[in-house]
Amino acid sequence: MEKFLEYLPLVLSGTWITISVSVLSLFIAVVLGLLGAFGKLWGNPATKRICTIYTTLIRGVPDLLLILLIFYGGQIGINYITEFFEIDYINISPFISGVLTIGFIYGAYMVETFRGAILAIEQGQLEAGHSFGMTNLTLFRRITFPLMVKHAIASFMNNWLVLIKSTALISIVGLEDVVRKSNMAGQITKQPFTFLLTAAMIYIVITSLSLWVIRSLEKKYQVIE
């Protein structure tokens, strides 16, 4: 018990890393998701093809493999650049490459989320907006976007729940997140089960809080019908 309390702050500091990586990669995923969805729906044929290749390839390959590829491959790519411009060696950190990779992967899932949500909007709503003399921009801002948000919530939050769990994989390339820290604490104290279970409990708390937010958001957006 004493040892548990001694190493608990270590696990909690890992929790903070897990949360910041998750939130930052969610931000990147949303930006990529919106761009991809717009590209797939309203882009020219070339843009559409690029977006389709992006979503198909990324969703077909395991997250861990992409993490390994971008972490190790990205380092070699950066080495080429630094050698070419004769600048100092830059070490790519698991944090930055993790955020970029997870954001890039879940961007592909978000494309489908937003695309599906836009397609779910009733045509009548858009026609009504047009007949009110709204410009395309106003129509998007006042009608398409709010309705898209409503239709996207369920799938968006599902992606978020999978995303937080995926960040645990970056611990394999050295991110000091809650999984790595609890594993370390478990090895030092020879109580791996206690610390790994603590990490599991932390994930359960994060998931439960997220589920609670989903339910209240869904209730709120149910009003727009």
Nearer to other proteins, 65 or 96 (CB): 65
DSSP secondary structure letter of residue 133: T
Shortest CB 64 distance to other proteins, Å = 4
CB of 59 to other proteins, least distance (A): 8
Residues 182, 162 contacting (CB under 8 angstroms) = no
d(Cα 86, Cα 67) in Å, to the nearest integer?
27
Nearest 10 degrees: CA dihedral of 81, 84, 85, 89? 60
Least distance between other proteins and beta carbon 68 (Å): 6
Task: Indicate whether 174 belongs to the interface with other proteins (CB under 8 A).
Answer: no
Describe the chain by its helix, strand, coil percentages, rounded to 5. 85, 0, 15
Could you tell me which of 129, 140, 143 has the C-alpha nearest to residue 34? 140
- Please identify, among the stretches 21-29, 118-126, 131-139, 182-190, the one whose residues bind other proteins according to the rule CB under 8 A: 182-190
Query: Looking only at residues 76 through 95 of this chain, which bind other proteins when binding is defined by CB under 8 A?
Result: 76
Q: How many whole angstroms separate alpha carbon 77 and alpha carbon 134?
A: 48
Number of residues that bind other proteins (CB under 8 A): 37
Residue 41, SS3?
helix
Site for other proteins in 185-224 (CB under 8 A): 186-187, 190-194, 196-197, 199-200, 203-204, 207-208
- Residues interacting with other proteins, by CB under 8 A? 57, 60-66, 68-69, 72-73, 76, 161, 165-166, 168-169, 171-172, 179, 183, 186-187, 190-194, 196-197, 199-200, 203-204, 207-208
